[in-house]
Amino acid sequence: MRTEEFFELLLEFGEEWKVKEVESVVESDEVDIYVEYVGKGEIHDFASTRRWRHLDIMQYKTYINAALPRLKMSNGSVKTVTPPWADKHERHSFLFEIAVIETLLATKNQTQTCALMRCSFDIVNRILHRATQRGLSRRNEEEIIQEIGIDEKSFRKGHRYASILSDTKGGRVLEVEENRTKKACRKLIEKGLSEKQKGEVKRISMDMWEWFQVAAQDKLPEAEIVHDKFHLIKYLNQAIDKVRRREVKEHRELKESRYALLKNEENLTEKQRIKFEAIRAANYEVSKAWQAREDFKQIFQNANVEEAEEIFANWSQAVKKSGIAEVIKVAKMFANHLRGVLNAMTGTTSNAMSERLNGKIQLLKSVGRGYRKFENFRSAILFFYGKLSLFPLNYQ
């Protein structure tokens, strides 16, 4: 078998394309395969020869070379033949793009993918953006989404935030928008949900950031806002830590007690447990703040809003009697957003999935050593956690 025939067998470009020559350059570890068009049609002329990066052969970088013919059409127009191995606007083959996508999914790191695929960062970054846009365009706008979460994530120093919309039951990111302003939050919902889907959303899980609520009420007026348990406990944890930092100035034994007070009791190490028990036994305000949080944890999963409202009122009154300013402030904030708090106390909707996605995004940020441009951050999040159909259609 001739070398050209062997490569024709491997490439499988069809009967319209033949391998006419194969050249190798040992010094640069490259193989160039020259392909010519032998298909039907009247050829008007040929475009300039192009070079596409293909899958490597052994240790050699492999390139497909071809001058695409322009055929005369019956109506007198001229049309350039589209090659079966690549998009005519790209400089790599479909198979190379697939390999890059698979490597990205495995490494979660563009720099590592560059090294493994032996190509430039620009190529990998372009493929990531291209695959993300392809996946977004394939989403089914008729799909029913009833529960969503809205959260935030910093992506650069200096209070640069991204707002993230997620499908809480589907465990995927729907859209990412720069900033957390009123305009950005509205745009997030507009881009992330079709008009049909907006009308089907029943519950929105979020923290108490003002513009999240304004955007939700504006764009999804029929949906219930839920300030889920995770975020409510987070506010109480922050209050506990503020009390601890205030009291540690007078009680040195509270030093290095932060994790002992904020972790769930069952997750404490032995050393943390000893410190925790000593603090709980002492008459510190931080001990009372901790107890307020624990009491609040017990008041979820109520039968109805009326029952939940009565229990919340009792808890709030007890917090007020404690006299601990930091916890009282949180209780007042809860009261100002009572409907969303009561929805959390009586329902099953949770932002836990959004928070898990948030943790994965943080890991993505750490692996990628930060993102200077928002568009790169957005595409990376949607590429890895949007559950998109990423691969070229020819090879699904």
Q: Give the span between the Cα atoms of 289 and 239, in whole angstroms.
A: 8
The full set of domain ranges for the chain reads 3-91, 100-225+374-396, 229-346
Element (H, E) at 164: strand 160-167
Question: Sign of the C-alpha dihedral, residues 120, 123, 126, 128?
Answer: negative
CA angle 218, 223, 229 (to 5 degrees): 110
Task: Enter the DSSP assignment of 282.
Answer: S
Q: Give the span between the Cα atoms of 12 and 319, in whole angstroms.
A: 73
User: Strand runs (DSSP E) across 113-159, as ranges?
Assistant: 147-156
pTM of the full structure: 0.84
| Tokens read off for 65 | 């070379």
The terminus-to-terminus CA distance of the chain in angstroms comes to 32
| Tokens read off for 62 | 């492999």
pLDDT at 261: 63
| Tokens read off for 272 | 């943390």
Q: 70, 80 in Cβ contact below 8 A?
A: yes
Q: Which residues pair with 19 in a beta bridge?
A: 35
Per-residue pLDDT of the chain (396 residues; tens, 9 = 90+): 678 888 888 888 989 999 999 998 888 899 999 999 999 988 999 999 999 999 998 889 999 999 999 999 988 899 999 999 998 789 999 999 999 999 999 999 999 999 999 999 999 999 999 999 999 999 999 999 999 999 888 877 656 889 999 999 899 999 999 999 999 999 999 999 999 999 999 999 998 999 999 999 999 999 999 988 888 998 999 998 898 888 777 766 666 666 566 666 666 676 666 656 666 666 788 888 888 988 898 887 666 788 888 889 999 999 999 999 999 999 999 999 999 998 888 876 655 666 678 778 888 877 766 677 899 999 999 999 999 999 997 654
Question: Sign of the C-alpha dihedral, residues 90, 92, 94, 99?
Answer: negative
pLDDT at 134: 96
Q: What is the distance, to the nearest Å, from the Cα of residue 270 to the centroid of all Cα atoms in its chain?
A: 36
Q: Which residues pair with 152 in a beta bridge?
A: 163
Q: 50, 91 in Cβ contact below 8 A?
A: yes
| Tokens read off for 198 | 């907006």
Q: What is the distance, to the nearest Å, from the Cα of residue 287 to the centroid of all Cα atoms in its chain?
A: 38
pLDDT at 367: 74
pLDDT at 136: 97
Place of tokens 């839920």: 226
What would the CATH number be for the domain defined by 100-225+374-396? 3.30.420
pLDDT at 3: 81
Neighbouring residues of 179: CB distance < 8 A, sequence distance ≥ 6: 161, 162, 163
| Tokens read off for 341 | 């708090």
CA angle 108, 112, 116 (to 5 degrees): 120
Q: 226, 204 in Cβ contact below 8 A?
A: yes
Q: 391, 141 in Cβ contact below 8 A?
A: no
Closest Cα to residue 64, out of 89, 34, 37? 34
CA angle 386, 360, 376 (to 5 degrees): 60
Q: Give the span between the Cα atoms of 298 and 49, in whole angstroms.
A: 71
